[in-house]
């Protein structure tokens, strides 16, 4: 085309999935110019995908690479530039791109954007960094609302919801030819683009590298970290998060001499004052007596509201320390550092903290979100084999309710995943373990972000837990580990689903086969009574109006909640696990 004086480029801005990368090469072809995709340029320069850049370098590192890509693109002439969704928020980027560039904002509704995400990401496990671990619709709507005043600075807005690609290209090319000369001649236009819309840009929360996902629950937003050797960076991470004061370390007694001392050393090296308390190992520590002991310890050391409770251990420590943090001084900052698979993928994420009563599990507690979760996968190398297997019950649960492709991976890689000690020497094994833990953390984070207080969606996380909790209660929270009980509970609900015609026997068999692969029980120890189990279930906190809620599968990855399961179906399903009584 014949370009007006000073006109060097077309710049496409707008939210992710509005069509920038699709339209740029087509517009460039019409104009006889080149197409430049900034995301492609960033990945080429870095030698790895953008999600990995976020993990390795954090948002600050990615934005620095993004600015470099903008500078390089702005030196080119005769090109159509497709930008990332956040590029236009930066004043320097706007100045470089708008000077000599006709700026087109592409717009689409949230439903359209989500549908395009689903289509492009089908069959992949990649998580978009800005949406990791959150309810997608809410996150899209929130981000779009914050960015809209900046996108409105453009020379042209094109809605891409229903419009055909060819029509969108023609509309943009026509506007470029008719309006670009007048737009670029305006000095006020460039000044306004440089200065911005008069509102602050959405803040960047740079949590640094190794963020597996982000939880957004109510007013809480916090990172979940996952990496090998993460505990060595405890002090640096707390500094990055702005957590000051003393650290009150509550550590499981079984790992106090190993991982506990490592954390104390890392925090002390970062200039922190640390007090430590050794929590006796085992479910029996989730008690009123042990909680009272923690209160006494905090009071003795005059803990203040700005001090931090640092929970190091498995699900027991996570729950106990979390309950103390939620209630002492009406709330203290909390950091979870889970050292078990169960803690990493489940207990530490989502803010459910509780202790047990003799009559039932997790009956006294609160919803209290941590400031961060630090999952050091290296700690799994010292975990007893039985505890390791138990934790993978929650991973298997996530596969059945949310991620069917992961079930195939688990079955194929069970031997490697159950041998984390080998990961210390083998990079592939280490990466596999980190990837599986990260994948499950994202599942848990997405669910709890959408439903913080278990009013709806979060109930699906109880798959296998109804009978599982009853088995734990009847056996005194000692003979059977949590994951073992959940494994048996999943077998029972699979049998219920088959009896109701929701799933077929092949899905039931898949439960048993995969649990066997991980050395998890599908049959209870002898001596359990169906009557005792039914009585324990009747006191469960998930009972509503005297009716027991059951999380079942309509198909793998498609859970539902039923409260009208016939008693005889429940009894028969229990018998398949514990035997008739």
Report the alpha-carbon distance of residue 104 to residue 45 in Å, rounded.
Answer: 26
- The answer to whether residue 482 is catalytic is yes
* Structure token pair of residue 327: 């209630």
Q: DSSP string covering 298-322, please?
A: HHHTT--TTSEEEEEESHHHHHHHH
Catalytic residue among 139, 469, 510, 542: 469
Four-residue CA torsion sign, 555, 557, 558, 559: positive
In Å, how far are 84, 143, 225, 228, 479 from 149, measured between CA atoms? Answer: 16, 11, 32, 41, 59
SS3 265: helix
- The residue among 21, 38, 24 whose CA lies nearest residue 72 is 38
Our answer to whether residue 371 is catalytic in this structure is no
> Who's near 199: CB < 8 A, 6+ residues apart?
149
Q: Is there a catalytic annotation at residue 352?
A: yes
Q: Evaluate the CA torsion angle 369, 372, 377, 379 in order and state its sign.
A: negative
What is the pairing mode between strands 360-367 and 352-357? antiparallel
Of 352, 361, 510, 542, catalytic: 352
Catalytic pick among 107, 286, 462, 484: 462
Active site residue 398: no
3-state secondary structure of 214: strand
Long-range contacts of 350-354 (CB under 8 A, 24+ apart): 350/215, 350/217, 350/444, 350/445, 350/447, 350/448, 350/452, 350/458, 351/217, 351/220, 351/322, 351/448, 351/452, 352/454, 353/318, 353/319, 353/321, 353/322, 353/323, 353/325, 353/326, 354/286, 354/319, 354/323
**Helices and strands (H and E) in the chain: how many:** 21, 16
Is 469 known to be catalytic? Answer: yes
> Residues near 283 by Cβ (< 8 Å), separated by ≥ 6?
316, 356, 472, 477, 478, 482
The C-alpha atoms of residue 400 and residue 512 are separated, in whole angstroms, by 12
CA distance 541 to 186: 66
Q: Give the separation between CA 5 and CA 399, rounded to whole angstroms.
A: 59
Catalytic residue among 361, 397, 465, 511: 465
For the question of residue 232 being annotated catalytic, the response is no
Identify whether 465 is a catalytic site residue: yes
Question: Does the active-site annotation cover 178?
Answer: no
Q: Which of 59, 107, 394, 472 is catalytic?
A: 394
Residue 394 annotated to the active site: yes
If one counts every other C-beta atom within 10 angstroms of the C-beta of residue 433, the result is 25
Which member of 302, 330, 425, 568 is catalytic?
Answer: 330
Chain position carrying tokens 């689409």: 108
Q: Please, what's the largest Cα pairwise distance for the chain?
A: 89
From the candidates 444, 510, 511, 512, which is the catalytic residue? 444
Angle at which helix 505-517 crosses helix 482-499, to 10 degrees, equals 170
Q: Do residues 565 and 573 touch, judged by C-beta distance below 8 A?
A: no
What separation in angstroms does the CA of 368 have from each of 70, 105, 217, 220, 337? 42, 40, 10, 10, 15
Rounded to whole angstroms, the Cα distance separating 182 from 101 reads: 12
Length of the chain: 581
Q: Would you call 116 helix, strand, or coil by DSSP? A: helix
Find the catalytic residue in 439, 458, 510, 511.
458
Which position among 259, 336, 482, 510 bears the catalytic label? 482
Please identify which of the residues 454, 472, 484, 495 carries the catalytic annotation: 454
Catalytic residues: 330, 352, 394, 444, 454, 458, 462, 465, 469, 482
């Amino acid at each position: 085309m014949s370009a007006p004086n000073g006109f060097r480029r077309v710049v496409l801005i707008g939210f992710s999935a509005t069509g920038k990368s699709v339209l740029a090469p087509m517009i460039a072809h019409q104009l006889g110019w080149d197409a430049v995709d900034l995301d492609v340029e960033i990945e080429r320069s870095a030698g790895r995908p953008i999600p990995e850049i976020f993990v390795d370098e954090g948002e600050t590192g990615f934005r620095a690479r993004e600015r470099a890509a903008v500078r390089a693109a702005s030196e080119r002439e005769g090109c159509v530039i497709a930008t990332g969704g956040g590029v236009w928020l930066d004043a320097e980027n706007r100045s470089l791109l708008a000077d000599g560039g006709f700026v087109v904002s592409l717009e689409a509704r949230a439903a359209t954007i989500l549908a395009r995400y689903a289509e492009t990401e089908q069959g992949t496990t990649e998580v978009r960094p800005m949406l990791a671990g959150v309810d997608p619709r809410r996150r899209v709507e929130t981000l779009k609302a914050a960015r809209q005043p900046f996108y409105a600075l453009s020379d042209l807005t094109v809605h891409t919801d229903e419009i055909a690609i060819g029509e969108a290209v023609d509309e943009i090319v026509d506007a470029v030819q008719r309006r670009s000369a007048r737009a670029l001649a305006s000095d006020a236009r460039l000044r306004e683009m440089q200065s911005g819309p008069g509102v602050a840009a959405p803040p960047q929360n740079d949590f640094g590298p190794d963020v597996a996902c982000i939880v957004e629950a109510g007013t809480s937003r916090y990172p979940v970290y996952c990496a090998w050797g993460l505990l060595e960076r405890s002090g640096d991470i707390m500094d990055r998060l702005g957590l000051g004061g003393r650290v009150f370390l509550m550590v499981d007694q079984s790992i106090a001499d190993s991982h506990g001392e490592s954390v104390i050393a890392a925090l002390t090296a970062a200039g922190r004052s640390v007090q430590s308390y050794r929590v006796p190992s085992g479910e029996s520590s989730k008690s009123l007596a042990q909680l009272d002991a923690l209160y006494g310890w905090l009071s003795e050391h005059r803990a203040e509201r700005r001090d931090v409770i640092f929970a190091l251990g498995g699900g027991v420590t996570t729950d106990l320390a979390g309950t103390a943090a939620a209630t002492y001084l009406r709330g203290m900052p909390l950091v979870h550092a889970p050292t078990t698979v169960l803690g990493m993928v489940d207990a530490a994420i989502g803010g459910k903290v509780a202790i047990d009563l003799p009559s039932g599990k997790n009956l006294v507690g609160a919803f209290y979100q941590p400031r961060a979760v630090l999952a050091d996968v290296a700690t799994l190398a010292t975990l007893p084999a039985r505890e390791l297997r138990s934790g993978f019950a929650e991973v298997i649960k996530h596969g059945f309710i949310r991620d069917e492709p992961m079930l195939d991976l688990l079955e194929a890689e069970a031997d490697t995943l159950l041998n984390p000690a080998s990961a210390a020497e083998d990079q592939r094994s280490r990466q596999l373990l980190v990837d599986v833990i990260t994948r499950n953390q994202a599942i848990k984070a997405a669910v709890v972000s959408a439903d913080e207080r278990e009013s709806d969606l979060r109930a699906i996380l109880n798959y296998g837990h109804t009978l599982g909790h009853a088995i734990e209660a009847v056996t005194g929270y000692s003979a059977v580990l949590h994951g073992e009980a959940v494994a048996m509970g999943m077998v029972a609900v699979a049998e219920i689903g088959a009896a109701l015609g929701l799933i077929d026997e092949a899905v039931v068999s898949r439960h048993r086969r995969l649990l066997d692969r991980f050395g998890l029980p599908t049959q209870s120890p002898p001596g359990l009574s169906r009557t005792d189990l039914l009585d324990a279930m009747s006191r469960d906190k998930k009972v509503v109006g005297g009716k027991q809620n059951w999380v079942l599968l309509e198909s793998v990855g498609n859970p539902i909640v039923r409260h009208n399961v016939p008693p005889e179906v429940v009894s028969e399903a229990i018998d398949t696990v514990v035997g008739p009584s």
